Amino acid sequence: MSKDTVGIALLGMGVVGGGVADIIQRKRSHLRDMVGCPVELKGILVRDVNKPRATQTPHGIVTTVADDILSNPEVDVVVEVMGGQDPAFDYILKSISLGKHIVTANKEVMARHGPDILTLSRKKGVQTLFEAAVAGGTPIIAPLLRDLVANEVLTIHGIINGTTNYILTSMSQNGADFGDTLAEAQRLGYAESDPTNDVEGIDAAYKLAILATLGFRARVRDTDVFHEGITRLRTRDFQYARELGYAIKLLGIATSDNGSVQARVHPAFIREDSMIAKVDGALNAVEIQTDLAGKLMFHGAGAGSMPTTSAVIADIVDIARNLAGNVAPPPIGKLSERTHVQPISELRTRYYIRLMATDRPGVLAQVGGVLGNRNISIASAIQKETDEVAQRAEIVLMTHRANESDVQQAIRELEALETVAEVGNMVRVEEW
Amino acid sequence: MSKDTVGIALLGMGVVGGGVADIIQRKRSHLRDMVGCPVELKGILVRDVNKPRATQTPHGIVTTVADDILSNPEVDVVVEVMGGQDPAFDYILKSISLGKHIVTANKEVMARHGPDILTLSRKKGVQTLFEAAVAGGTPIIAPLLRDLVANEVLTIHGIINGTTNYILTSMSQNGADFGDTLAEAQRLGYAESDPTNDVEGIDAAYKLAILATLGFRARVRDTDVFHEGITRLRTRDFQYARELGYAIKLLGIATSDNGSVQARVHPAFIREDSMIAKVDGALNAVEIQTDLAGKLMFHGAGAGSMPTTSAVIADIVDIARNLAGNVAPPPIGKLSERTHVQPISELRTRYYIRLMATDRPGVLAQVGGVLGNRNISIASAIQKETDEVAQRAEIVLMTHRANESDVQQAIRELEALETVAEVGNMVRVEEW
Beta bridge partners of B285: B159, B299
B150–A299: do the CB atoms touch at under 8 Å?
Answer: no
A310–B292: do the CB atoms touch at under 8 Å?
Answer: yes
Strands A294-301 and A283-290: antiparallel
**Model confidence pLDDT, tens digit, residues A265-280:** 999 999 999 999 999 9
- Residue of chain A minimizing CA distance to B296: A300
Rounded mean pLDDT, B40-62: 92
Amino acid at the residue A288: I
Phi, psi of A6 (to 5 degrees): -105, 120
Quote the pLDDT of residue B327: 66
Length of chain B: 432
**Which of the residues B15, B26, B37, B147 would you substitute to probe the A interface, choosing the one with the greatest number of A C-beta atoms within 10 Å?**
B147
Burial class (CB in 10 A: 0-12, 13-18, 19+), B52: exposed
CB atoms within 10 A of CB A71: 12
A300–B296: do the CB atoms touch at under 8 Å?
Answer: yes
Phi, psi of A76 (to 5 degrees): -95, -35
Which residues of chain B are within 8 Å of residue A322 when distances are taken between CB atoms?
327, 330
Contact between B160 and B137 under an 8 Å Cβ cutoff? The reply is no
Rounded mean pLDDT, B414-420: 95
Phi, psi of B362 (to 5 degrees): 90, -10
Length of chain A: 432
**Which of the residues A39, A131, A147, A321 would you substitute to probe the B interface, choosing the one with the greatest number of B C-beta atoms within 10 Å?**
A147
Q: Is A6 helix (H, G, I), strand (E, B) or coil?
A: strand
pLDDT at residue B326 is higher than 90? no
A321–B328: do the CB atoms touch at under 8 Å?
Answer: no
SS (H, E, C) B159-190: ECCHHHHHHHHHHHHHCCCHHHHHHHHHHCCC
Based on its alpha-carbon atoms, the radius of gyration of chain A, rounded to whole angstroms, reads 24
User: Alpha-carbon distance B283 to A290, whole Å?
Assistant: 15
A310–B150: do the CB atoms touch at under 8 Å?
Answer: yes
pLDDT at residue B36 is higher than 70? yes
**Model confidence pLDDT, tens digit, residues B249-262:** 999 999 998 889 99
The percentage of chain B sitting over the pLDDT mark of 70, rounded to a whole number, equals: 97
pLDDT at residue A1 is higher than 60? no
User: Alpha-carbon distance B15 to B198, whole Å?
Assistant: 18
Domains of chain A plus CATH, in order, are 6-136+305-325 (3.40.50.720), 141-299 (3.30.360.10), 347-429 (3.30.70.260)
pLDDT at residue B1 is higher than 90? no
Q: Is A285 helix (H, G, I), strand (E, B) or coil?
A: strand
Which residues of chain A are within 8 Å of residue B298 when distances are taken between CB atoms?
296-299
Beta bridge partners of A295: A289
Which residues of chain A are within 8 Å of residue B277 when distances are taken between CB atoms?
none
A146–B314: do the CB atoms touch at under 8 Å?
Answer: yes
pLDDT at residue A89 is higher than 70? yes
User: Alpha-carbon distance A388 to B302, whole Å?
Assistant: 57
pLDDT at residue B331 is higher than 70? no
- Residue of chain B minimizing CA distance to A308: B293
| Shortest CA gap B68–chain A (Å) | 28
**Model confidence pLDDT, tens digit, residues A330-350:** 666 678 777 899 999 999 999
Task: Report the Cα–Cα distance between both ends of chain B, in Å, rounded.
Answer: 51
Q: Is B238 helix (H, G, I), strand (E, B) or coil?
A: helix
Q: Which member of A34, A291, A301 has the closest CB to residue B294?
A: A301
- Residue of chain B minimizing CA distance to A280: B275
Q: How far out from the chain centre does Cα B314 lie?
A: 20
Quote the pLDDT of residue A265: 98
| Shortest CA gap A301–chain B (Å) | 7
Rounded mean pLDDT, A243-248: 97
Which residues of chain A are within 8 Å of residue B149 when distances are taken between CB atoms?
34, 313-314, 317
Q: Which residues of A are catalytic?
A: 207
Report DSSP state, residue A139: -
Q: In whole angstroms, how far apart are CA A253 and each of A40, A227, A271, A287, B326?
A: 40, 10, 15, 10, 38
Strands B62-63 and B39-45: parallel
Quote the pLDDT of residue A277: 95
Which residues of chain A are within 8 Å of residue B142 when distances are taken between CB atoms?
142-143, 146-147
The interface predicted TM-score (ipTM) is 0.94
Model confidence at A195, in pLDDT bands (50, 70, 90)? very high
Closest CA relative to residue B77, chosen from B332, B311, B312: B312
A310–B148: do the CB atoms touch at under 8 Å?
Answer: yes
**Model confidence pLDDT, tens digit, residues A200-230:** 999 999 999 999 999 999 999 999 999 999 9
User: Alpha-carbon distance A375 to A407, whole Å?
Assistant: 9
User: Alpha-carbon distance B343 to B346, whole Å?
Assistant: 6
User: Alpha-carbon distance B411 to B417, whole Å?
Assistant: 10
User: Alpha-carbon distance B422 to B142, whole Å?
Assistant: 47
**Catalytic hit among B100, B207, B249, B334:** B207
Amino acid at the residue A349: T
**Model confidence pLDDT, tens digit, residues B37-49:** 999 999 999 999 9
Which residues of chain A are within 8 Å of residue B157 when distances are taken between CB atoms?
none
The percentage of chain A sitting over the pLDDT mark of 90, rounded to a whole number, equals: 86
Q: Which ranges in A56-177 belong to alpha helices (H)? A: 66-70, 88-97, 107-124, 141-142, 162-174
Quote the pLDDT of residue B322: 86
Report the sign of the C-alpha dihedral through residues B398, B403, B406, B407, in that order: positive
| Shortest CA gap B280–chain A (Å) | 10
Quote the pLDDT of residue B335: 80
Based on its alpha-carbon atoms, the radius of gyration of chain B, rounded to whole angstroms, reads 24
The question of whether B207 is a catalytic residue gets the answer: yes
